[in-house]
Every structure is written in C-alpha cells, then in structure tokens.
Structure 1
Amino acid sequence: MDSTQHSPAVQVRTFRVEGMDCADCAVGLEHAMRRVPGVQQAKVIFSTGTLRVWASPEVSESTLHEAVRQAGFRLQPALSHDHAESNRLRMGAVALATLFSIVAFVLQKQQAPAWMFIPLYLGAIVLGGTPTFIGGWRAVRNRSLDTDALMTIAILGAVGLREWAEAAAVVCLFAIGNLLEHLTTERTRRAIRQLMDSAPETATLITPEGLRTVPAELVQQDERIRVRAGERFPLDGEVVEGYSDVDQSMITGESRPVPKSPGDEVFAGTLNQTGMVDVRVTRTYENTTLARLIHLVEEAQEHKAPLQHLVDRFARVYTPTVIALAVLLSTVPPLIWGEFGRWFFRSLSLLLIACPCALVISTPVALVAALGTASRRGVLIKGGIFVEAMAQVRAFIYDKTGTLTTGRMRVREVQPLDNVPAEQILAIAAAVEAVSTHPLAEALREEANRRKLPLPTAQQCTVVPGKGVEGIVEGKTCRVGNADFACAHLVQDMPLVSGGEDGHSAQVWVQVDGKTIGRILFEDTRRAEATEVVNELRAAGIRHHVMLSGDVESVAQKVAQELGLDEVRAPLLPEQKVEAVRELRERFGAVAMVGDGINDAPALKAATVGIAMGAIGSDVAIEAADIALMNDDLRLLPYLVRLSRATVGIIRQNIAFSIGTKLLLLIIAAPGYLPLWLAVMGDMGVSLLVTLNALRLVRQA
C-alpha cells in the first residue's frame, strides 16, 4: 500500500484490485467505496487496475478490504506482483466446471439416469458460477443490475425450468469468456504496470556510520544514496561521484544508454549499467519524475474521448431498454397465448443480450493499450480526448528554438577586419572566454577545439555581465562581447560591420587594445532529423507546416527554407504566438503545436493538441502539454500520428462490431431462435474480440 499525507485529516491510499476486468466493474467499485463512512473520495483507475481512496486516518485497512470484498473484489498492496496464483486457481475452477459439463452432457445424450448427470451439471454451475452469483447478489443488494446480476437471473431461470445443459453451458462460457478477457486485459495493462514497477522499493543510503538499506520512500531530499552497476535508481537525483552509462528507455524510450558523470541528472526507474555512482537526492519518492508520469497515466482515462462519451450515453439507454423488453416478453405474450415457460425462456436470452460489457469496454480497452504502448516509447498522453484530437490534426505548428533546432549555438563564420587571420581571432576569443559559462563562449571553445587551434594563455579574465569578457593575452588587453561593449572601448574610429540583420541570431566582436580585429557569427544547430520528420508527416497527410519564432525574421526564414516549411511567422512575442495559433485553428480546424513547454506554454494551451519535447525532469513542461515527449527525438511525432489514427480506427471498429452484433442477437432472440449458450457466447465473444483487436496497438510498440 502506498500512503501519502495530503492534509492532517485525509490520507490517500493506493491498492491494486483483483478481479476487475471491465470499466463497468470500476464504476461499481467506486460507488461502493464512496459509501464507506470516513471515505471522502474514491477513484478506480481501470487502466492499471488500481484503487485510490481519500479517507480519514480512522478508517482502517480492514474496513477498506471488507468494503471491496462486499463489492465482489479483492485488494492487494499497490506494489504486489502476485497475480499468477490467483490466475491458476481461476483457471482450475473453470477447467473443472467445463469438464463436469461435458461429461454430464454426454451422459444425458446417452439417456443415462438423471441422478448421474444432474449432480455433474450442478457441480459445474457451482464451480464456474459462484463468483457470478456472489457478484449478482451484491449488485441486487446495492440496487443495481450489472452483468453478474443479469447472468445470475438467466442461470437460475434456466435451472428453474430444468434446462440443465443450457444453465451449465451459460456458466462455463461466461466463466471462460471472463477468464480470457481478464488475461487479455492484463496484457494491455502490462506496459503501464512495468512503468509502475520499475523503481526499486529500497535505497542504499550513505550515512556517517556507513551504508544502510532503507525504504526508498523514507529517503529525504539532499540525502545521498549509492547505486551499483546493474541496479535501478530508486529516486531522482544528481550524480556527485562516479561515472556510468544509464538506460533511460523505461521513461524516455531512448534505445542507447546515456553517459552520466558528476553534475548530471538521473531519474527513478532508470537502469545503472556500467559503474557505481553516488547520488544526491533531488526529489522524494512520491515526487519523482517516474511517480509523476505514473500519476498522469493513471489520471489520463478521466479525459475521455468524445467517442467514449457517445458509447457511455448509448449504454445508459440500451441496457434498461432491453431489460424492459425482456420483462414485456415474459409477461405479455403468456397472457395472450399462454405457455409461460416458453416465453420466460426467450426473455432470458434478452437479459443476457442486455449486458453492455462489449460495448462499454470497446473504447477504454483501446485507449489503455494506446496509453501503455506510448509510455514505453517515452510518450506521455494525458487522456483519450487527446488521442482522438491527434488523429484529426491537419496542420503542425513548431516553435523554432529547441524544437526544430537544438538550442545549442555553433560558430558559423569568422569575419576578419584589418587583415587579421580568422584562426587568430577565434583563438584569442576562445582563450578569453575560457572563464565564461555563456552558450556563445561554449560554442567558441568547441569550434577552436574542432579546428585544433593552439590557444594563447589568457590572464586576469573578467566577465562583464550583459556585455562580454575581457582579459590579458600576451600583454595586450583583449575584449570579446557585444557591439555596445566593443564601441565603448574603441581607441580609434573605424566602421563596424552592421550586425543582427544578416540572418544570424548572435554575434560577438573581438578587440585587441581597443582595436576591433573581427567579429564571429553564430547560428542555432538544426536538428538532423527535422527534414525527415516534416516529409514523413506530409506523407501521412498533414500538408501544412508552420514555424513560429521570437527570433529575427531572416533567421527564421533561413531555417524554414532548409526544412521545407510552408509558413513562417517572426519575430513574435508570446502573446502573438497565441494569436497565431488561434488563427491557424480557424483555418485548419485541429492543429498541433510543438514546443519545449516552458517558454511557449500559452501557445501549447491554445492549440488543439499541445506537445512538449524533452519534458523529462521538467514538471512545468509536463504540466503545460497535452502530450509530453520525454526526449528530444522529433521522430516521435510521426509515430504519435500513426498511433492516434490506429487507435481511433480500432475504437470505431470495436463500436460498430459491438452494436452490430447486439442488434443481430436481438433480432434472433425475439422470435425465440437464440439459445442461452449462444447469447452468452455472442456477448463474451464480442468482448473478447474487441479486447484482442485493441491488443494490436500493443504490438505496434
């Protein structure tokens, strides 16, 4: 169990639920838990099979367990992995019930005495039907008619009419269908549960007395932990000692290990592969990036897709309508033609068809599969509504810096003045900038290193904030900085080359003893995969691609031309980006905005779907976006479009198949042509088929 203190009077407790195989079951359990005294709120997350309860500390765990048991389920601690044993018991009971039914049916056909086959039928009904009968009784006691209640009425009705074979067949088929549906639903949940189970429960804490193994949830911020090669990081933190390669694929989807050294960030659930590292904890157990992702994945099902709302409305009308028809069929015709038994038996078929399971799960099972599959690729989708919206996107809008470009500057050109060699200008600049952490200083050092230039010794180097850097090189005062810095120290008049309007986003001037010897131009590094991604999206039918940038227009135009974008808007302030997004929504309908989620959060919110890149470790980016990409790989965008369209396609297939089958069964059942076992097979078979259809999304991972 996971317990988190939210206020002095309320605790949030999380459990796993056994036996919850449909969305309808989840709703029923929520209602049951909310009736427990002391429970303020209860939420069942069908996608992960978990229950979260907000309750006062006085509410004991035994009270919660009993309430769940009364609702027909069982609780396990949130981190429990013991599913195999319960599955084996369930399969054993179903297999034995089926065997009894087959033997009894053979004996009945051989005209054996009733005392030989009726006990076998009864054994099969009890073995396979007990969970259904218990669930049905509890539903009736709670004044509701769920699948178990309708199935119980049908089975007992068949037994009352001494239709032993029909009753046993209904029990066995329903039990087999439930078991198969449970196993396939567990598979759709597996990706999300792997994410939940990836962080270890204990941590090796470094103390003055030595190493100590403690529960990870007890480790506090700024304490130090040790993680050996082959272990997973239990918490987020910063490496303070040691070097290693870390597999972050569980969170980011990156296939290659990421090298880590002192100062680098590490995340809970990721795998330390090669070396032992000591880590300063930066986030406690319940606040790690992994915990945040899991919470958002769990909450994602609350943001239902429009198709799911449509199905829910249909189901609310469908079930009572069919039950009413069943009641009419069992009462009105006997008053006219008699033969109550025959009409009552026909009405039982309608009761079985009234179960809305296949229709109700047709949408959520596909969305659960999509959310789990995406999470394995490092894509966090906050709800089904965004899956459906993504499938309808007709235009992509990109922020430039950090999205289409890396945000990392590089030297584009060195422009000498007064016949000073370009290599000498670059070497002086790199030597003086050695004390600076500015991105342009880093670009200067990288370029000098790439050209393998020997750097002169620079002394007394000083950073002038907002201006540049100055120092002594070979006895001469050298300055590297912006135009204002250069002009302020000129000792003679000389024309400066105009800067900032020639298509370069940044520049520095280099001076020696007050004389300007050259300037260095920089440009942002374009992402290598950007052109390929734009072309792939065009091939997928997304024809219009727009770039919004706060940079000068010439810079933005240059990047857009290289990438083959259709439209550029620059320079724009944040509020102008929002206006541009709204205008593009009016033109194209559904649009996706891609950015870093920090500087362009308002524009992301204004789009139909806001997508934040490189969101790992950034709560702001994750919060701002509808979809968060945990790494900086633009190639996830075409994948996201394909997954969304495939999901919506499967949902539509499931809905059409479920409704079509139900209508067909209704037409057959009314005249009495539908035996009970076929009605059950129709209902459970469709439920199983829509679940298997959704599993195609899991294979796409």
Structure 2
Amino acid sequence: MAEYRLQGLSCANCARELEEEIQKLNHGEDAKVLFNSSKLVVSEEIELNKVEKILAGDGASIVKEEEHDHDQGTGRKLLFLIGTSAILYFAAMIFEKALPGWPAVVLYVAAAALSGYSTFLKGLKNLFKFKFNIDTLMTIALIGAFGIGEWKEGTLVAILFGINEYLEGLGMEKARKSMETLLDAAPKEAIVLIGGQEKVLPVAELKTDDIVLVKSGQKIPSDGVVIDGSSSVNEAAITGESMPVDKAAGEPVFGGSINNEGVLKVRITKSYEDSSLAKILHLVEEAQETKTPTEQFINKFAKYYTPLIMVVAAGVMAVPPLFGGDWGSWFYQGLAVLIVGCPCALIISSPIAIISGITRNARNGILVKGGVFLEQLGQIETIAFDKTGTLTKGEPHVEKVIAYHEEEFFKVAGSIERSSSHPLAKAVMKEVEKHDISLEEPDNITTIAGQGVEAFVSGKLYRLGNEASIPSGAVNGEIRADIDQLKNAGYTLVAVSDDSRVLGLFGIADEIRPESRDVIQQLYQAGVQKTVMLTGDHEKTAKKVADAVGLTDFYANLLPDQKVEKINDLIHERKTAMVGDGINDAPALAVADLGIAMGKGTDSAIETADIVLMQDHLSKLPSAIKIAKRVNSIIKLNISLALGLKLIALLLTIPGLLTLWIAILSDMGATIIVTLISLTILIDKTGGSVHSKSGGL
C-alpha cells in the first residue's frame, strides 16, 4: 500500500464520499481517505491519475514533496477571497441604496462567486450525478435565492458558508498540528561510527549492531545499549516522565529520548522501524482513524439526514401553497430548510475531540490505540489489577526483621547470600548492606531441596532458608510466635540458624508501589466503582496488599485461565478493564472490555493491550480516565448542540420566520462551537500546556 498526504480536505463527510468513489476503481477496494490525519492510503497498483481526478472534483489533491506548506497557503487564499467578498458585499449594500438596479446585483454576484465558486462548481457536478451533499444543497439554495431576487441574502449565505468552511478547516488543522508536534519526537539523523570515522546517516538506514555517537542535546536514534559513557537521559518521548534517568555502560536506552549531557556511545539493538518509539508513533497515527461506535452512528445518521431534509424542504415549498400560502414566501423557507440540512457540524462533533484526547494522553505517557478504546476508557466502572509488577514493584523486599543475635545474624546472612543471584538473596543483601557489617567468604555452600542452603562461615555450619531449614530443637515459644506472626501477615520467611539457635528472621514481601494507594483513591474519585486484584499468590499475601492499597475485592491462588474466568464474571456485571504487565496477563487483557498494560516501551506491552502506560506505573491512569470521560461528555454535548441548533432553525419554519442567513448561521454557529469545545481537551488544567517540550509524546 502507498500513502500520500492530502491538502484541501476539510470536510469529514466529503472524505467519506471520496473514499467510496476511489474504492470503485480497479485495485481501489482497500483505499482509505483518512480525514483526521489528511492522508490517502491506496494500492500501489491503482491508477493514480484517476484518483487525483476524483480528489480534484472535491477540491482536494495529493501534496507533492515540495508543497508541504501548501495547506497554509490554501487557508490564506480562502481567507483573502472571503475578505474581498465581504468588502464587495458592503459596497453592494451602499450601491443598492444610492443607485438601485444592476450595479448592486453585479457586486452581489461577484461577492458570492469569490467566496462560493468552488462550492458552486462542485454542487453543479453533483446535481448532474444526482449526488446530494452539502455542496449540492448550497448550490440549489444559492440558485433558488438568486432566482427569486434575494441577491443580498443569497450572497450573505455564500460568504457565511465560506467563513464556516475556513473555520472548520482551521479547527481540524489545529488538531492535526497538535498530532504532528507529537510525531516530531522521532529522530531524523544519527552519527554512526564506521571504521573509527563519524558519518551522519538518516535513521532509516540504521542497522542492528551499528555503533552510534549521541552528543549532548541530541536524540538517541533508536533502541540500544550504552557501551561507553554516562549521562542523564530525558525519556519523556517514551514514558511521559520529564525527570531524567541516569544511564551508564550496559544500560538500555530508547530511541527518541534525549541525551542531556556528556557523550554516549550506543550499540543499536533494533532498526528504527522496530524501535519502541516508531511503534508508538505508528500506533498513535493509526489510532486517529479508528471509528468509535458514536462516530459510526453519526456517519450512518448523516447519510439519511441530508435526503430527509431535502424531502422536508420540498414539503415546505409545496404543501403550504396548496392551502393558500404564498408560493414565493414558502419557496424561500424551503431554500432555508435545505441549508439546515448541512451535516458538517454533526460529523465534526467527534473527530476533533477524539484526536485531542488521544494526543493529550500520548503527551502524558499513555498510549491509547484508538478512539474506540478512548471511548471505552471513559465508560469503565470496574478495574481489575494484576498484583506483581502492577500494584507492587515485582521485586522481593525485606519488610520486617527480627534479630535475636543481631551482629552474627547479619554477618552470616550476608556472607552466604553475597554471591547468589536469587531474588530473595538480593533482597536480603540490600538489608544487610544497611548495617555496615564485614562479610566473609563462605565454604562448602550446599543447596538443600525444599529448604534453602547451608554453608560454613568462620568454620561453623549455618543454615539459611524457609521454616523447614530450622533445626526442631532451636524453636522455642517466642520464636514460634514470631514465625506465626510473619506467616499470618503474608510474608515469605527467611530464617538464619545454626545447629541449636535461630539467629534471626527476615519477613520478605513484594514491595508495594508507593503510588498505588493514592492511585486507587484517585480512581474512585474519577468514577471507578470497583477495584479488584487478581493474583496467583496465596490469600494472606493478597489480603495484605489489597488492604494496604484500598481495593474493594481480591482473588488469590489464581492460574492464568482462572484469571480469565474472573474477568468474564466481572464483565457480565459492568464495564471492566484489566491492568497487567502485558506478558503473563495477556489472556486476561484480551478478554476484558479494555486491556491496559504496564509498558515502559516493551514490545509485548505495546502489542498486547488496548492502552499502554509507558511510565511502567499507575500514576497517570486516573488522569487518562478523566480525559476519556471529558472526551465522551464533550462529544455528547457537541451532538446535542449540532442537532439542537438545527432543530430550532427548523421550528422557525412553522411561523415562517426561518431566513437563509439564520439557517447558515445555525450550522456555522454549531460548527464553530463544537470545534472550540473539542480543542479545549488539549488544554492542561493542571498548570501547563500540553505543548510543553518537557512533556511526553
């Protein structure tokens, strides 16, 4: 498939009609006209000249490489024509009073032609094809108005419609520019070391294992590993977190992140098109074009709405005169009803809001893969969480220490665990290091299956492991009570003992993320009614975590298939999202109404879920839900305003008060209002603009 950028595409309904026309061509069945991103996607086998002819019929065209700024020029040209039309219109009004007759009529026609000639030409073509859209309606109304001598009002309609088109295009372009700013995070060039020499290459030419040099202030061109140098790196382009992350040799880096100081030498591990940033940007672009159920309904409604309005207009023109009404007056009212049939405000009520919501979340480090998922996020009532790596850090952490012989306890524990790579050993070592105790090299370390390890330290045999590793004679009443207390609290027990004594106990747990409790409370405030934890851990550990973070319910001892069963139970009760790490929770993420993955740029997270939290923690989830709810409420408000203003205009036909300029103002007013309301989503109410350079995507 080939992709082209379009210009002159300002009407969502027109984009849909163009797509249908292009799909009728040979090899055009998969063609897409993407209104939100102003792009055309067609088969490489299609006859492009025929496509361009169809586009030209509606005032759109393919942008050539050298014409990327043409859209702005088109907008300025339209604004100039509208301004000139307005001057001619006021001149005609003056002439009409001072010198009635044809001079004023000529000025009115000239003013109407300047601001509405493209609409008029498209409308005439559509009339011959019996294709009825807004251009057709406006053309019929304009011809009718001039036909009955309403030069002033007909011209005003043409000028106001031109202003409406300009403002509609301006609003859509604002949303598109916001998305383009987002996509600017992609690096363009890289300094590649070839034979010890620096060579600047486009990122598209980077290959795996290339060595690149990243100087201070430059973007890292693709995912890789630091092989030399140290620096702090701004990963906001990936995670939305503006706080710098320190990087040194051996540590991974993301393409699109910025080297703050120093020089880094990075070995590329992925070509740019496979990098985290490229995948994110591609998904964000695709997300603009996914149609929500609301948008699909609006598009279907608009298809029948315009023909229905034409029938109503014909009825207004024909029926009242049969009962004695003035033919000329009701014909004029019918022309006004035709203009009310413009579906522009209705169709644009959703796309700008959806793009703004996706962009706002992306800048906040939250990747929403489509408008449909954004809409669903605003409807979520229950959120199910995996425990490990989601509500907790996924790393064992010593939470409680009971030392009976403190110095010997820490010395033995540290000496035995210092060379082990086991996660529990690492947790023990972190605790031992706090006590500044000199350690010794152990002798004859032996693993005892189902218990732990034993080793000689300073010539004496010690044991380190679970409760089963403790000699039976070493446990007295006090120690038994302490062991039971740690077990009842849900800790994993690590005991250190010799042949006759217990030196001390470690109570180890998966460390709860410090933000988890606050996030859960914020979710309740955002409208989530129920929070549930699904975990494979035993019940006591699960209860400890659930109570600590404030969940409404939890389910323990679950295998992956049992998590899926629980999600199925929950989605039958209310709209449910599942939050997990995107790997072992994949089945549950897929079954839930909405899958939300903890990501930080990992391929599995990006590919698995509907929404990815790129910071790898939950803190941005409440704001994402609030943004989604705001988008949903704004879309509903926009639809109500668009239909409400049209209904008011139509009701004015009953007393015969509807005029052409009131009709066009009802549509123009609705278009301006829904556009401005939708763009407010891009405003960060917390004190910063979403365009901040330190922000995320």
TM-score interval (norm. to shorter): 0.7 to 0.9
Distance 2:272 2:63 in 1: 20
Please say if residues 45 and 298 of structure 1, whose CA atoms lie closer than 8 Å, have aligned partners that are also in contact.
Answer: no
Please say if residues 94 and 128 of structure 1, whose CA atoms lie closer than 8 Å, have aligned partners that are also in contact.
Answer: yes
Equivalent residue, structure 1, for 2:534: 548
Distance 1:323 1:509 in 2: 84
For residue 576 of structure 2, what is the amino acid of its counterpart?
V
The percent identity for this pair of structures is 36
CA distance change for structure 1 residues 274 and 353 in 2, over 3 Å: closer, same or farther?
Answer: same
Please say if residues 133 and 152 of structure 1, whose CA atoms lie closer than 8 Å, have aligned partners that are also in contact.
Answer: yes
User: Given the alignment of the two structures, is residue 310 of structure 1 paired with residue 297 of structure 2, yes or no?
Assistant: yes
Please say if residues 505 and 551 of structure 1, whose CA atoms lie closer than 8 Å, have aligned partners that are also in contact.
Answer: no
Please say if residues 533 and 554 of structure 2, whose CA atoms lie closer than 8 Å, have aligned partners that are also in contact.
Answer: yes
Which of 561, 573, 582 is equivalent to 2:559? 573
CA distance change for structure 1 residues 445 and 494 in 2, over 3 Å: closer, same or farther?
Answer: closer
- Size of the alignment, in residue pairs? 678
Please say if residues 396 and 546 of structure 1, whose CA atoms lie closer than 8 Å, have aligned partners that are also in contact.
Answer: yes
Post-superposition shift, 1:524? 1.1
Give the TM-score of the pair, scaled to structure 2. Answer: 0.87
Equivalent residue, structure 2, for 1:440: 424
CA distance change for structure 1 residues 313 and 421 in 2, over 3 Å: closer, same or farther?
Answer: same
Question: Tell me, what secondary structure is at the counterpart of 1:631?
Answer: coil
CA distance change for structure 1 residues 382 and 677 in 2, over 3 Å: closer, same or farther?
Answer: same
Q: Give the alignment of 1:132-531 within 5 angstroms.
A: 132-137=119-124, 139-140=126-127, 144-208=131-195, 210-301=197-288, 303-330=290-317, 341-414=328-401, 421-433=408-420, 436=421, 438-457=422-441, 501-504=487-490, 506-508=492-494, 520-531=506-517
Which of 3, 8, 12 is equivalent to 1:23? 12
Question: Tell me, what secondary structure is at the counterpart of 2:4?
Answer: strand
Distance 1:342 1:136 in 2: 24
User: Given the alignment of the two structures, is residue 592 of structure 1 paired with residue 580 of structure 2, yes or no?
Assistant: no
Question: Tell me, what secondary structure is at the counterpart of 2:213?
Answer: strand
Please say if residues 490 and 544 of structure 2, whose CA atoms lie closer than 8 Å, have aligned partners that are also in contact.
Answer: no
Equivalent residue, structure 1, for 2:40: 51
Post-superposition shift, 1:299? 3.1
Which of 664, 677, 680 is equivalent to 1:680? 664
Distance 2:280 2:381 in 1: 28
Deviating more after overlay: 506-515 vs 156-165 = 506-515
User: Given the alignment of the two structures, is residue 535 of structure 1 paired with residue 535 of structure 2, yes or no?
Assistant: no
Question: Tell me, what secondary structure is at the counterpart of 1:55?
Answer: coil
Equivalent residue, structure 2, for 1:76: 63
Question: 5+ unaligned residues in a row in structure 2: which ranges?
Answer: 685-689, 691-697
For residue 591 of structure 2, what is the amino acid of its counterpart?
A
Please say if residues 181 and 688 of structure 1, whose CA atoms lie closer than 8 Å, have aligned partners that are also in contact.
Answer: yes
Post-superposition shift, 1:343? 4.2
Distance 1:42 1:595 in 2: 36
Distance 1:237 1:568 in 2: 39
Please say if residues 379 and 575 of structure 2, whose CA atoms lie closer than 8 Å, have aligned partners that are also in contact.
Answer: yes
Equivalent residue, structure 2, for 1:655: 639
Please say if residues 432 and 480 of structure 1, whose CA atoms lie closer than 8 Å, have aligned partners that are also in contact.
Answer: no
Please say if residues 232 and 268 of structure 1, whose CA atoms lie closer than 8 Å, have aligned partners that are also in contact.
Answer: yes
CA distance change for structure 1 residues 480 and 219 in 2, over 3 Å: closer, same or farther?
Answer: farther
Please say if residues 10 and 169 of structure 2, whose CA atoms lie closer than 8 Å, have aligned partners that are also in contact.
Answer: yes
Equivalent residue, structure 1, for 2:589: 604
Question: 5+ unaligned residues in a row in structure 1: which ranges?
Answer: 1-11
Distance 1:69 1:241 in 2: 55
Give the TM-score of the pair, scaled to structure 1. Answer: 0.87
User: Given the alignment of the two structures, is residue 88 of structure 1 paired with residue 83 of structure 2, yes or no?
Assistant: no
Post-superposition shift, 1:330? 4.1
Deviating more after overlay: 301-310 vs 547-556 = 301-310
For residue 561 of structure 1, what is the amino acid of its counterpart?
D
Post-superposition shift, 1:557? 1.0
Question: Tell me, what secondary structure is at the counterpart of 1:594?
Answer: strand
Please say if residues 201 and 215 of structure 1, whose CA atoms lie closer than 8 Å, have aligned partners that are also in contact.
Answer: yes
Distance 1:429 1:504 in 2: 25
Please say if residues 39 and 55 of structure 1, whose CA atoms lie closer than 8 Å, have aligned partners that are also in contact.
Answer: no
Deviating more after overlay: 407-416 vs 216-225 = 407-416
Post-superposition shift, 1:173? 0.7
Distance 1:248 1:549 in 2: 31
User: Given the alignment of the two structures, is residue 563 of structure 1 paired with residue 552 of structure 2, yes or no?
Assistant: no
Question: Superposition RMSD on alpha carbons, in Å?
Answer: 3.5
Equivalent residue, structure 2, for 1:9: none
Distance 1:512 1:465 in 2: 18
CA distance change for structure 1 residues 298 and 676 in 2, over 3 Å: closer, same or farther?
Answer: same
Deviating more after overlay: 300-309 vs 147-156 = 300-309
Distance 1:136 1:226 in 2: 58
